[in-house]
Structure 1
Amino acid sequence: MKLADMLSYADIGQLSRIATTYRCECSGNSKNELIQSILSTVNRREVFETQIGSMKMEDLRFINSLLFDSRDSFSLEELIARVQQSKFGQTSAEPAAVTPSVLPQPTAKETKKPAKRSKKSPVPAVESGPRETISRFKQYGWLFNGYEGPNRYLFQVPSDLKERFKETLGKQFLAQAVYVEEEPHAYRDEQLILGEDVMHFLDFVYHNEIPLTSDSVMYKRSMMQIMDRFGVKEAFPARGEWRFGYGRRIKDYPNRLSLIYDYCYYNGWLSEADSLLTLTSAGKERQLKRIPEPSDKLYVFWLRLYKGAIPNIRAIVHWIDQLSHKWVKLASLQTVLTPYIKPFYYDQPETILEQRLLGMMMHLGLLRIGDDPASGQVVRMTPIGRSIVAGLSIENDAIVLN
């Protein structure tokens, strides 16, 4: 639903609170006049852009987490969890400190007639916890409750405001990105190779006896033989390297091999019984097809597998796609995106962006990574990457492979 539709369902008390927040000059007793005044104010480009520009980082992270979710509605518990996730370095019991608010709660008199419109942008209400953040977003007209049945307990962001948020944030991000006009001297492009290596992996398991350790891990010799068949070579993880949270076998195998293994395991193609790695009946059926795995299926799996460690991975991938339509300096991408990436234990935002996101997107064939003598590392989305990221409706649940 669009903002106008949601306003028409709102009661006059909520409309009055929104009108007071925007300093609308209108009668507080006329629902139609309140709606028209709110729409007139919110639809002014300078008002909206000023609001976005004055938002705190945790608020930007919160709204960013809602913009790319395929669902239309969110429970209060979900919103509270997202607000808490947006406050990096703070526990749920430690709300962010903010400057005192100068925006009073509307009195009965103000409810009847909101304050006259001011040229100054509205000032956020004082925040002392997730519920207050959600309440403030409702006062801005950015979140609405449902109006009947079970939907009364769910919240929605107006669809047209979602697009305006994306457009405004995109302009701000693009202004910070630094682009390179010339093609780099060398770059890595792995389009379609990962899907072919899934096929090679299944072939190897089918034709060879692969012993497993007591922890159901392949021995190094088997891993080397498998990767010799792959189109992309990888180094083995360093001894004692911190590795967990990005898949079932990330602690045992290199990043790319781990993704291939977990993908096959999740699809029910692998058996780890009796200290041997073999194909299941479904795996043998898949192996007989002798065709590469589609890139879009691998991408969807990767998003869901990494979602546990990077909850807002869909939003970050969207912005990488938008900012990398041509060769862009990696350093500028870091500047723009790392404030939106939450550390995951010992993985810092820079590491998550470079290794877990950009590195894996390259393996998936979604982008190219190049080296430029003058600009350092640069990245650019591939044509197939742009179409895959733009054209998919993806499940939101994270994949957990125990």
Structure 2
Amino acid sequence: MKLMQVLLSQPQKELVKRIKNIGITCNLHSKQQVTEELTNFLLDSERVEENWGALGEIERDLLLHMCYSPSIMAVSPYELHTYLKREDRDSFQIVLESLMDKGWIYQDDANSLILPQELREYIHQIYINGWIEHSIYIPLKDELSYDIIQDLFEMMDFIDSKKIPLTKNQTIYKKDLTNILQLLSKKEELPTEQWRFGYGRHYNVYPDYFSLLYDFSYDQGWLEEGESLLTTKNWETGQELHMNELLDRLLRFYIRLYRRPIPQLPFIIELFKRILSRGDAIEKCQLIERIKDFVDPYYYDKPPVIVEKRIINMLCYIHFLSSTEIDGCEYIFLHPRYQ
């Protein structure tokens, strides 16, 4: 929604309040003049960059979350509140009112929050400029592999052909689990951490990649846990799904599963789409360093670990992101399927 449309939809008293807060002099009784003066002030490119630089850290974070929100029209205050780090949420209402007074954010009739299109584009350009020095261009590859789809079928075929007994906690015994892990393209060892907290159904005993595959299959209704682990009739239909449909389902499932421990995940994925477009790639360590500031710790997982292992690695597993090594450095880029 463009700024002029947003302003025209606002009550006169709200516009006058912003005019006074910003310090613009004009005829406060003329909505046309108030709207024109606000538009000219707020869309002055030099002033936008200056105003952005004057914002506090939480104010900028809030605007970035709106800028890269999957909902491009309006965001509910509740949703925006949950996107912020826990330590910043107590300041939410004060920061929101400050941004509204400064003319960045507006409310519609349903009390949803709007970031006008032009301001969204300015924020994106200012923010993306901060990434340019860390990015390189990587030409797209003609041949693409989708290891996770092959691994999914390998796992399900193994389970279908074997009667795999389960423990009292309905987990796979170590011997059978080791045999399955040896079939997969991502070589993983059994978890050895004393304390391992949850990004999945049996995450405390299953390694990361296998856990995602297992949880996805269980969620789709393809697996049944009892005394033994069995495939269900639903798997017959699952095998007929197109690869693109399986990949789309995997991404949606991953977001749904990991969004509880990482509420900022939808925002971060949308951010990746924008900063890694057109073949741009960023060194993994730089990506972790920048993204970790948006993420809360989760039990014993610290933000840098969460960004690397729970976000970047997982998104590479499900072919949303890809990685390559150049001159001894690992670079992350958007998988060609999403470019």
Task: State the TM-score bracket (shorter-chain normalisation).
Answer: 0.7 to 0.9
CA separation of 1:43 and 1:364: change in aligned 2, threshold 3 A = same
The Cα shift of 1:327 comes to 4.1
Q: Which moved more, 1:67-76 or 1:358-367?
A: 67-76
**Structure 1 CA distance for aligned equivalents of residues 89 and 22 of structure 2:** 31
CA separation of 1:290 and 1:135: change in aligned 2, threshold 3 A = closer
**Residue number among 123, 128, 135 corresponding to 1:165 in the alignment:** 123
Q: Match for residue 142 of structure 1?
A: 104
**Structure 2 CA distance for aligned equivalents of residues 312 and 164 of structure 1:** 22
Q: Match for residue 28 of structure 2?
A: 28
Please state whether the residue corresponding to 1:38 is helix, strand or coil.
Answer: helix
User: Which ranges of structure 1 fall in alignment gaps of 5 or more residues?
Assistant: 93-128, 184-188, 388-402
Q: How does 1:169-188 map to 2 (within 5 A)?
A: 169-175=127-133, 177=134, 179=136
The Cα shift of 1:182 comes to 9.0
Q: Match for residue 59 of structure 2?
A: 59
Q: How does 1:283-302 map to 2 (within 5 A)?
A: 283-287=235-239, 289=240, 292=243, 294-302=246-254
RMSD value over aligned CA atoms? 2.6
CA separation of 1:318 and 1:174: change in aligned 2, threshold 3 A = farther
Please state whether the residue corresponding to 1:265 is helix, strand or coil.
Answer: helix
**CA deviation profile, 1:302-338 (whole Å, cap 9, x unmatched):** 1222111211212223333444434432232233222
**Residue number among 92, 109, 120 corresponding to 1:130 in the alignment:** 92
Q: Match for residue 313 of structure 1?
A: 265
**Structure 2 CA distance for aligned equivalents of residues 237 and 158 of structure 1:** 47
Q: Conserved in 2, the CA contact under 8 Å of 1:271 and 1:277?
A: yes
The Cα shift of 1:208 comes to 1.0
TM-score relative to the length of structure 1: 0.74
Q: Match for residue 335 of structure 2?
A: 382
Amino acid at match of 1:86: K
**Structure 1 CA distance for aligned equivalents of residues 32 and 241 of structure 2:** 64
Please state whether the residue corresponding to 2:332 is helix, strand or coil.
Answer: strand
**Structure 2 CA distance for aligned equivalents of residues 341 and 308 of structure 1:** 12
Q: Match for residue 3 of structure 2?
A: 3
Q: Match for residue 314 of structure 2?
A: 360
Structure with the largest fraction of helix: 2
Please state whether the residue corresponding to 1:300 is helix, strand or coil.
Answer: helix
Aligned residues with identical type, % of pairs: 21
Q: Conserved in 1, the CA contact under 8 Å of 2:159 and 2:230?
A: yes
Q: Conserved in 1, the CA contact under 8 Å of 2:99 and 2:105?
A: yes
Q: Conserved in 1, the CA contact under 8 Å of 2:70 and 2:267?
A: no
Please state whether the residue corresponding to 2:188 is helix, strand or coil.
Answer: coil
CA separation of 1:41 and 1:182: change in aligned 2, threshold 3 A = closer
**Structure 1 CA distance for aligned equivalents of residues 321 and 82 of structure 2:** 32
**Structure 2 CA distance for aligned equivalents of residues 225 and 211 of structure 1:** 13
Q: Conserved in 1, the CA contact under 8 Å of 2:283 and 2:331?
A: yes
Please state whether the residue corresponding to 1:6 is helix, strand or coil.
Answer: helix
Please state whether the residue corresponding to 2:27 is helix, strand or coil.
Answer: coil
TM-score relative to the length of structure 2: 0.87
How many pairs are equivalent? 332
The Cα shift of 1:226 comes to 1.6
Q: How does 1:191-340 map to 2 (within 5 A)?
A: 191-244=145-198, 246-273=199-226, 275-287=227-239, 289=240, 292=243, 294-324=246-276, 325-340=279-294
Q: Match for residue 104 of structure 1?
A: none
The Cα shift of 1:272 comes to 0.6
The Cα shift of 1:378 comes to 2.7
Q: Conserved in 1, the CA contact under 8 Å of 2:166 and 2:173?
A: yes
The Cα shift of 1:24 comes to 2.0
Q: Match for residue 123 of structure 1?
A: none
CA separation of 1:167 and 1:87: change in aligned 2, threshold 3 A = farther
Q: Match for residue 154 of structure 1?
A: 112
Please state whether the residue corresponding to 1:229 is helix, strand or coil.
Answer: coil
**Structure 1 CA distance for aligned equivalents of residues 61 and 301 of structure 2:** 19
**CA deviation profile, 1:335-354 (whole Å, cap 9, x unmatched):** 32222222223211211121
Q: Match for residue 85 of structure 2?
A: 86
Q: Match for residue 70 of structure 1?
A: 70
**Structure 1 CA distance for aligned equivalents of residues 54 and 101 of structure 2:** 16
Please state whether the residue corresponding to 1:294 is helix, strand or coil.
Answer: helix
Q: Match for residue 397 of structure 1?
A: none
Please state whether the residue corresponding to 1:356 is helix, strand or coil.
Answer: helix
**Structure 2 CA distance for aligned equivalents of residues 343 and 81 of structure 1:** 15
The Cα shift of 1:381 comes to 2.8
**Structure 2 CA distance for aligned equivalents of residues 311 and 290 of structure 1:** 30
User: Which ranges of structure 2 fall in alignment gaps of 5 or more residues?
Assistant: none
Please state whether the residue corresponding to 2:25 is helix, strand or coil.
Answer: coil
The Cα shift of 1:61 comes to 2.1
The Cα shift of 1:87 comes to 5.5
CA separation of 1:135 and 1:182: change in aligned 2, threshold 3 A = closer
